[in-house]
Amino acid sequence: MANLQTTTITGVLTVTGNMVQGTNSDISPWYKLSIPSGAEQYVHVRTPFPADASAGIGWNPTLLEIQGYHGSFSDNMYDIFAVVNVTGDGNNTWYGSQIMRNDGSAGVSPFVYRSGSTYGGYTRVCFSVAKMTQSRTGYLWVRWWNSSNFWNSFAWAIANSSSSTGVY
């Protein structure tokens, strides 16, 4: 590894040349999901994204982005990032982190997990968010940053539950 040095800059910084950027193929389109009505406290989403190293995602961190609302006047707002990954060393250890940003309401409580069952041969990345207990409308917009070949590898699913964990 090269010997890296830091430099402190005061004033205006001018950069010549090109910045390394991703391509549009690195970010999925937004997927719009309707939040089902019902009295259950949480909505769960099973994404098509595999959560097994055998699918080729070991040591390949991916960002899951969730935005949306639930309620008549957007009582619950969702604006969530989560980094998901599995190890590629044969142990298939799951890493799912919840990174809140701009939380519009304290009751959102996101949870990212790996499905307990396999779908199409792989466990899948799942998440849950709190919702209003009344029958209200709402939508989630979900997209992935990285690994474009997995965006549509399996069907999406959505369900209500009284638990924030382990529906799928």
17 within a domain of the structure (yes/no): no
Residue 61, domain extent: 29-161
- DSSP 8-state symbol, 107: T
Q: How far apart are the first and last CA of the chain?
A: 42
Contact between residue 47 and residue 64 where contact means Cβ atoms under 8 Å apart: yes
Q: Residue 135 pLDDT more than 70?
A: no
If you ran DSSP here, which 8-state letter would residue 88 be given?
Answer: S
Residue 18 lies in a domain: no
Least trusted range by pLDDT, from 19-23, 45-49, 54-58, 97-101:
19-23
Alpha carbons within 13 angstroms on the beta-carbon side of residue 77 total 9
Would 83 be classed as within a structural domain? yes
Domain assignment present for 91: yes
In a domain, 130, yes or no: yes
Q: Is the pTM of this model over 0.85?
A: no
Q: The domain that contains 55 carries what CATH number?
A: 2.60.40
Per-residue pLDDT for 141 more than 90?
Answer: yes
pLDDT in tens, 30-41: 999 998 887 788
Does residue 58 belong to any structural domain of this protein?
yes
pLDDT digits (tens, 9 = 90+) for 74-127: 566 788 888 888 998 889 999 877 665 554 455 566 888 999 999 999 999 999
- Which pLDDT does position 13 carry in this prediction? 59
Q: How many structural domains does the chain have?
A: 1
Residue 34 lies in a domain: yes
Q: Is residue 3 part of a domain?
A: no
Confidence at residue 1, expressed as pLDDT on a 0 to 100 scale: 45
As a whole number of angstroms, the distance between CA 71 and CA 18 comes to: 45
- Which pLDDT score, from 0 to 100, does residue 19 have? 46
